[in-house]
Structure 1
Amino acid sequence: MKPLLPPLRDESLLSWVNRFALFHCGVSAEEFCRVIGLPQQELIIGRQRAFSKLAVIFGVPVEQLRARSHYPVSSRVYGYRSENFFQEFLLRNRQTFCPACLLSDIETNRDGLRVGAARINWTFSPVRTCQYHNVPLVRARKATSNGAKIDTSYLKPDIADLEDILAHSKTRRPSELQGYVEKRLEGHMVSSWMDSQPIDLASRSTEMLGACVEFGAHAALSKLNEDNWDHAAKVGYEFTSRGEEGIREGLRYLLNSSEKSQAQSGPQGTFGRLFHWVQADRGVKNIGPFKEVFREFILDNVRVEPGTLLFGSVVDQARVHSVASLARKYALHPKTVRSALTKSGLLRGSNDHDSMRQTARVQQAEKLIKKLVRAVPVSRIPDYIDCTRAQAQHLLKAGILKPVVDDEKKFSGRHKGVDSDDLDRLLKQMRKNGKHVVNAGLGMANVGDAADALHVPTTDIVSLLLKGGLENVELLPELFKFRSVLVDLTEVSFKLGLQDGETGVTISDTARELGVHLDVVRFLLSANVDPGCCGLESCGRYRHMGKMCDLVDPGSLDKFKNRFRKLSQIEGYWVRDPERLRSKLAERGIRPAWDPAIAGAEFYRVSDL
Structure 2
Amino acid sequence: MMLAPHVPFDPEESPLSYAARLAGIHTGGRLIPFLRDLEFEPEDMVSNKEEALSRLAELSGVPIGDLHANAPVPLGGRTYVLRGELVTAEFLANPHTMFCPACLAEDDRGAGRRGRWQWTLSVVRTCPRHKIALVRRTKKRWDDPFHELDCRVPERGEQLEALIAQSPKRSISPLQKYVINRLNGKAGPDWLDAQSLEQSVRASELLGALIAYGPGQRLPELTFNDWDHAGRLGFEFTSGGEVRIREALDVQLRQFDNANGTPGAQRIFGCLYKALAYPNSNKEPGDIARILRAFIIENIALSAGTNVLGEKLCERQLHTVASLAHEQDLDSRTLNDVLVAAGMIPEDAPSHYTIPAQEGRNVAGRVKRMVHVISLPHALGCARPLVDQLFSDRLLTPIYYGRPGTRGRTQKAVDSEEITKLVGELHAKAVEMDVEADGFAPISKVAEKAKVPAVTVVHMILGGFLERVFRRTGQNGVAALRVDPVEVNRQVAVCTEGFSPMAAFEALKIPRDVGWLLTDRCGEEVSLPVHWIAGPSGDRKIPRFDPVILADFKGRYIHPAQIAERYGLRVGEVVGRLKRRGIRPVLSRAEIGVDFYRGSILELDLFT
Q: What is the TM-score with the length of structure 1 in the denominator?
A: 0.73
Map of 1:59 onto structure 2: 61
Among 210, 213, 219, the residue aligned to 1:212: 210
Q: Does the 8 Å CA contact 1:92/1:147 hold for their aligned counterparts?
A: no
Letter in 1 for 2:418: D
Map of 1:395 onto structure 2: 390
Residues 131-146 of structure 1 mapped to structure 2, 5 A cutoff: 131-141=128-138, 145=142
- In 1: Cα distance, 2:316 partner to 2:443 partner: 47
- In 1: Cα distance, 2:371 partner to 2:186 partner: 65
- In 2: Cα distance, 1:169 partner to 1:275 partner: 33
- In 1: Cα distance, 2:228 partner to 2:463 partner: 68
Map of 2:322 onto structure 1: 324
Report SS of the residue matched to 1:244.
helix
Quick check: 1:474 aligned with 2:470? Answer: yes
Map of 2:571 onto structure 1: none
Residues 497-536 of structure 1 mapped to structure 2, 5 A cutoff: 497-498=493-494
Return the index of the structure with the highest Cα Rg. 1
Quick check: 1:437 aligned with 2:439? Answer: no
C-alpha deviation, 1:90, in angstroms: 0.9
Q: Does the 8 Å CA contact 1:94/1:143 hold for their aligned counterparts?
A: no
Among 79, 104, 107, the residue aligned to 2:106: 104
Letter in 1 for 2:169: T
Map of 2:380 onto structure 1: 385
- In 2: Cα distance, 1:338 partner to 1:463 partner: 34
Distance 1:500 1:415, change over 3 A: closer
Q: Does the 8 Å CA contact 2:304/2:314 hold for their aligned counterparts?
A: yes
Deviations 1:47-71 (A, max 9, x none): 1101110111111221111001111
Map of 1:88 onto structure 2: 90
Distance 1:338 1:208, change over 3 A: farther
C-alpha deviation, 1:26, in angstroms: 2.8
Deviations 1:124-146 (A, max 9, x none): 22222222222212123557549
Report SS of the residue matched to 2:494.
coil
Deviations 1:459-501 (A, max 9, x none): 4544454455543322234644123233444555555653999
Letter in 1 for 2:135: V
Distance 1:229 1:283, change over 3 A: closer
C-alpha deviation, 1:405, in angstroms: 5.4
Quick check: 1:202 aligned with 2:204? Answer: no
Report SS of the residue matched to 1:498.
helix
Among 371, 374, 382, the residue aligned to 1:376: 371
Among 46, 71, 74, the residue aligned to 2:73: 71
Report SS of the residue matched to 1:376.
strand
Q: Does the 8 Å CA contact 2:373/2:411 hold for their aligned counterparts?
A: no
Superposition RMSD on alpha carbons, in Å? 3.4
Q: Does the 8 Å CA contact 1:93/1:143 hold for their aligned counterparts?
A: no
Aligned length in residues: 500
Among 8, 12, 34, the residue aligned to 1:32: 34
- In 2: Cα distance, 1:445 partner to 1:408 partner: 42
- In 2: Cα distance, 1:496 partner to 1:46 partner: 98
C-alpha deviation, 1:452, in angstroms: 4.1
Distance 1:156 1:36, change over 3 A: farther
Among 299, 302, 318, the residue aligned to 2:300: 302
Deviations 1:205-257 (A, max 9, x none): 22112212221111122222122222211222232222222222222333332
Map of 1:599 onto structure 2: none
Map of 1:47 onto structure 2: 49
Deviations 1:275-295 (A, max 9, x none): 222221487222222222222
Among 247, 252, 257, the residue aligned to 1:249: 247
C-alpha deviation, 1:183, in angstroms: 1.8
Letter in 1 for 2:7: L
- In 2: Cα distance, 1:216 partner to 1:363 partner: 33
C-alpha deviation, 1:340, in angstroms: 3.3
Q: Could you tell which deviates more after superposition, 16-25 or 124-133?
A: 16-25
C-alpha deviation, 1:410, in angstroms: 5.1
- In 2: Cα distance, 1:53 partner to 1:473 partner: 106
- In 1: Cα distance, 2:187 partner to 2:432 partner: 78
Q: Could you tell which deviates more after superposition, 90-99 or 324-333?
A: 324-333
Report SS of the residue matched to 1:273.
helix
Q: Could you tell which deviates more after superposition, 176-185 or 331-340?
A: 331-340
Deviations 1:145-187 (A, max 9, x none): 4986454323563232321122123322222222222222222
Report SS of the residue matched to 2:477.
helix
Residues 518-557 of structure 1 mapped to structure 2, 5 A cutoff: 547=546
Letter in 2 for 1:137: L
Q: Does the 8 Å CA contact 1:307/1:314 hold for their aligned counterparts?
A: yes
- In 2: Cα distance, 1:256 partner to 1:64 partner: 51
Distance 1:78 1:434, change over 3 A: same
- In 1: Cα distance, 2:228 partner to 2:348 partner: 32
Q: Does the 8 Å CA contact 1:44/1:147 hold for their aligned counterparts?
A: no
Report SS of the residue matched to 1:400.
coil
C-alpha deviation, 1:2, in angstroms: 4.3
C-alpha deviation, 1:190, in angstroms: 1.6
Distance 1:261 1:23, change over 3 A: same
Residues 245-324 of structure 1 mapped to structure 2, 5 A cutoff: 245-258=243-256, 266-281=264-279, 284-324=282-322
Letter in 2 for 1:47: K
Letter in 1 for 2:106: S
Q: Could you tell which deviates more after superposition, 412-421 or 479-488?
A: 412-421
Q: Does the 8 Å CA contact 2:460/2:495 hold for their aligned counterparts?
A: no
- In 1: Cα distance, 2:141 partner to 2:455 partner: 87
Report SS of the residue matched to 1:431.
helix
Report SS of the residue matched to 1:237.
helix
Q: Could you tell which deviates more after superposition, 296-305 or 404-413?
A: 404-413
- In 2: Cα distance, 1:396 partner to 1:415 partner: 9
- In 1: Cα distance, 2:261 partner to 2:309 partner: 20
Distance 1:283 1:91, change over 3 A: closer
Letter in 2 for 1:386: G
Quick check: 1:365 aligned with 2:360? Answer: yes
**Residue ranges of structure 1 left out of the alignment (5+ in a row):** 502-542, 550-609
Map of 1:127 onto structure 2: 124
C-alpha deviation, 1:373, in angstroms: 2.7
Among 418, 421, 426, the residue aligned to 2:422: 426
- In 2: Cα distance, 1:488 partner to 1:6 partner: 113
**Residue ranges of structure 2 left out of the alignment (5+ in a row):** 498-541, 549-608
- In 2: Cα distance, 1:251 partner to 1:345 partner: 25
Distance 1:45 1:426, change over 3 A: same
- In 2: Cα distance, 1:400 partner to 1:499 partner: 16
Q: Does the 8 Å CA contact 2:429/2:462 hold for their aligned counterparts?
A: no
C-alpha deviation, 1:7, in angstroms: 3.4
Q: Does the 8 Å CA contact 1:346/1:361 hold for their aligned counterparts?
A: no
Distance 1:435 1:230, change over 3 A: same
- In 2: Cα distance, 1:83 partner to 1:74 partner: 15
C-alpha deviation, 1:439, in angstroms: 4.9
- In 2: Cα distance, 1:259 partner to 1:143 partner: 48
- In 2: Cα distance, 1:385 partner to 1:168 partner: 86
C-alpha deviation, 1:93, in angstroms: 0.8
Q: Does the 8 Å CA contact 1:55/1:65 hold for their aligned counterparts?
A: yes
Q: Does the 8 Å CA contact 1:93/1:146 hold for their aligned counterparts?
A: no
- In 2: Cα distance, 1:173 partner to 1:478 partner: 88
Identity of aligned residues (%): 29
Among 1, 5, 8, the residue aligned to 1:6: 8
Letter in 2 for 1:11: E
Q: Does the 8 Å CA contact 2:11/2:66 hold for their aligned counterparts?
A: no
Report SS of the residue matched to 2:399.
coil
